[in-house]
Amino acid sequence: MAASPAVPENRPPEELNRAVILLGPPGAGKGTQAKKLAAKYSVPHLSTGDMLREHVAQGTPLGVKAKPIMERGELVPDSLVLKIVAARIERPDCAHGFVFDGFPRTVAQAQYLGELLKQHGFRRPFVIHLVVDTALILRRITGRRTCKTGGEIYNLFERPPKVEGRCDNDGGELFQRPDDREEIVAPRLHAYHKQTEPLVAYYRRLGLLHEVDASKSVEEVEQQVCKTLHHARSKH
Ligand code: AP5
């Protein structure tokens, strides 16, 4: 049998030209998978959690309002989040698509996003629901540590750094998010079930929902996400 031709190293990335939404409870692996997808398609990874944390760190008026809400594990009001998302997707790097992580999180946000995508000439998004059970969520959230400099995500139970407290990539200090403390996980899950889970039915009704078992290893979930997206892209 003839060997398959080698893929040229300088091959341009596959074009996404869509919004991909990673939907799922806290700790489902949205950030982990969003980074990989964004790199694969050379599009931005848009995490509303990261954008809000940036505002908090810089002490902007929006950050000052968001900080106590996030620390309680509740959702930041739609009006604040929609403003930063609308401004972000205006930027030229979003012209060929983007991967949302943590947005939309309410039906109102999803409806607004639908309009925003139309205005920017995008077709309907691909929505990937990362399904994972509560026991695993707790382990993933309380074990998470993030690099202060590069943002690399670790997990003390599943993927510990080689040197305790330091990033394998750049030696940056690893920190625990204030909302990852065990006592904040319950309110975050409550907010998810009450305000975000209805999006599963919302996107299913629109025929846009694809489910992936996110309890598997990072690599297996990544493979499944890519396969699902590939299949969805070939259909629409
Ligand atoms: P946000 O930052 O979006 O947090 P979240 O949705 O609670 O999600 P997480 O970041 O906790 O988890 P993840 O699914 O990204 O998992 P990760 O890949 O990191 O939001 C924070 C707050 O901001 C909200 O509470 C709210 O206040 C506010 N906010 C944000 N967006 C908002 C919006 N749109 N509207 C209103 N308010 C908003 O993985 C978790 C851990 O598990 C890591 O340690 C990782 O290494 C590990 N892991 C991941 N995948 C696997 C795997 N397959 N196997 C083993 N370990 C894994």
Atom of ligand 1 nearest to the CA of 144: 44
Amino acid 12: pLDDT = 54
CATH architecture of 24-134+179-228: 3-Layer(aba) Sandwich (3.40)
Query: 144 in ligand 1 pocket by Cβ < 6 Å?
Result: yes
Are the C-beta atoms of residues 128 and 210 closer than 8 Å to each other?
A: yes
Q: What is the pLDDT of residue 55?
A: 97
- Positions in the chain whose pLDDT score sits under 70: 1-13
Structure pTM?
0.92
Q: 126-131 and 97-101: which strand pairing?
A: unpaired
Residue 18's H or E segment, with its range, is: strand 18-23
Give the per-residue pLDDT at 1: 40
Ligand 1 mean position, distance from CA 236 (Å) = 28
pLDDT for residue 7: 43
Q: Ligand 1: which of 113, 131, 155, 193 to mutate, most ligand atoms within 8 Å of CB?
A: 155
DSSP H stretches of helix in the chain: 30-41, 48-58, 61-71, 78-89, 107-119, 134-143, 182-191, 198-205, 218-235
pLDDT tens for 26-53 read 999 999 999 999 999 999 999 999 999 9
pLDDT at residue 16 in the model: 86
pLDDT digits (tens, 9 = 90+) for 4-29: 444 445 555 678 889 999 999 999 99
| SS3 of residue 236 by DSSP | coil
Q: How many CA atoms lie within 13 A of 30 on its CB side?
A: 27
Strands 18-23 and 126-131: parallel
